[in-house]
Copies of this chain bind each other. A is one copy, B any other.
Amino acid sequence: MVQPTPAHFFQTVNAYQQSAAIKASIELGVFTAVGEGYDTAESLAARCSASVKGMRVLCDFLVIHQFLTKEGDRYGLAPDAAMFLDKNSRMYAGGIVGFLLLPEIRQAFDDFTAVVRRGGTVLSEGGTMSYEHPVWKDFARSMMPMMIPPAEAIASIVKANEKAPMKVLDLAAGHGIFGITIARHNPNARIHAVDWAPVLVIAREHATASGVADRWHALEGSAFDVEFGGDYDLALITNFHHHFSPSTIETLMRKVHKALKPEGMAVTLEFVPNDDRVSPPDAASFSLVMLGTTEKGDAYTFAEYQKMYQNSGFAHNEMHRLDGSPQSVIVSRR
C-alpha cells in the first residue's frame, strides 16, 4: 500500500481546470494547428492568436494530460488527439465541447450539494431533458461523429447487410446517424425518425449527405406524443432512456412494443453499468451526469432494463458491450 497523500484529492478539486483547458484548446484550434505542423509554443501562439506564455502553459498541461507529446520544445499530437481533436480528421469530435460545456449544462453542477440533497437536477424546467431546449440542436451537430462506431455496430447487430426489407423507427433520432447508417448498409430499409422539428432539420441534412433521403422520413414531435404508425421491423432507442424514470421508460417501451411487428426487435443504445454500479467507470459515472442534469434520469443496469422491458412486453433481452465505447446495445424481442 502506497502512503496516503493529498495529491489525488487536490487533483480532483482542481479537475475543473482540465475542462477549461481542453475547451480552450479546441476553441483556439491548438490540435488542428499541431496537426498542420506548428509545433512550438511560439509558432502555435502566432497561428492561434494567443500569447506565447499562455500557449506554452496550455500545451504543457495538454502533455501532462496525454493529449499532446513533447520532445525538447516540440509538441506533437497524441493518438487520441490526432483522431478526435484535429479538425482535419474525419473523426473530429472537438465540437462536443460546444454542447457539453454550455453554461446551461455546467451550471447544473454549480451547487451539486443541492443536487444530492434533492436527488435530481436543480435546473428549472426539468433540466436539459425539456424537448425544446436549444442544447439538443448543438448536440445533434457535434455528437454525430462520435456515434459512427456504435451506429456501425448496431447496423451489424441488426444484419443490415443482408438487405431484407426493414421498416425502422428511429426514436429521438437527433443527428439521425443510427437510422441513416442502417439505410446506408441496407437499400431496402426505410427510416422513420422521430424528434423535435429543429433537430430533424439537421438529421435530414445528414440523410441527404449520405444519399438516403428518399428512404428517410421525419416524424416531428416528442416520442411520447407523436403517432408512430405500425408494422415496424426495428425500433432504435439510442441515448434516450437515461433521461427518464423507470415508469416513463416502461410507458414508452409499451408504445414501441405496439408499433413493432410480432417478430420485430427493439435495439437500445445506453450507458449500462454492471450491477455493482461502479464499473465500467465511464458507463457508471454517467449516472452523475443524469443526476445533475435531469429530474429522474439515471444510468440503469441491465437487470433494471430487463425488468422494465419485461414489464413492457419484451420477454427476451440480451446485452452486447461495444468495444472501445462506454456504451452497450440491448436487443429486445417479445
Asked whether A96 lies within 8 Å of B57 as measured between CB atoms, the reply is: no
Question: How does the 8 Å CB contact mask read for A56-72 relative to B, with 1 for contact and 0 for none?
Answer: 11101101111100100
In A10-69, which residues have CB < 8 Å from any B CB? 10-24, 27-28, 49-58, 60-61, 63-67
Asked whether B285 lies within 8 Å of A61 as measured between CB atoms, the reply is: yes
| Number of chain A residues whose Cβ lies closer than 8 Å to a Cβ of chain B | 84
A124 interface hit (Cβ, 8 Å): no
Asked whether B12 lies within 8 Å of A65 as measured between CB atoms, the reply is: yes
Known: A60-B277, A64-B285, A277-B60. A19 touches B15 (CB 8 A): yes
Chain B nearest CB from A183 CB (Å) reads 24
Copies in the complex: 2
How far, in angstroms, from A115 to B20 measured CA to CA in the complex?
A: 10
Interface centre among A1, A80, A113, A120 (most CB of B within 10 A): A113
Identity of the chain B residue whose Cβ is nearest the Cβ of A19 in the assembled complex: B16
A214 interface hit (Cβ, 8 Å): no
Main secondary structure of the interface of A (DSSP, over half): helix
How far, in angstroms, from A1 to B82 measured CA to CA in the complex?
A: 14
A119 interface hit (Cβ, 8 Å): yes
Chain B nearest CB from A177 CB (Å) reads 15
Known: A116-B55, A276-B70. A80 touches B4 (CB 8 A): yes
Chain B residues in 8 Å Cβ range of A104: none
11 further A-B contacts with Cβ under 8 Å, apart from A13-B97, A54-B116, are: A4-B83, A5-B325, A6-B84, A7-B324, A12-B22, A15-B15, A15-B16, A28-B113, A50-B116, A51-B120, A60-B284
On A, residues with C-beta under 8 Å from B are 1, 3-24, 27-28, 49-58, 60-61, 63-67, 70, 79-85, 93, 96-97, 100-101, 106, 109-110, 112-113, 115-120, 146, 276-279, 281-282, 284-285, 287-289, 291-292, 298, 324-326
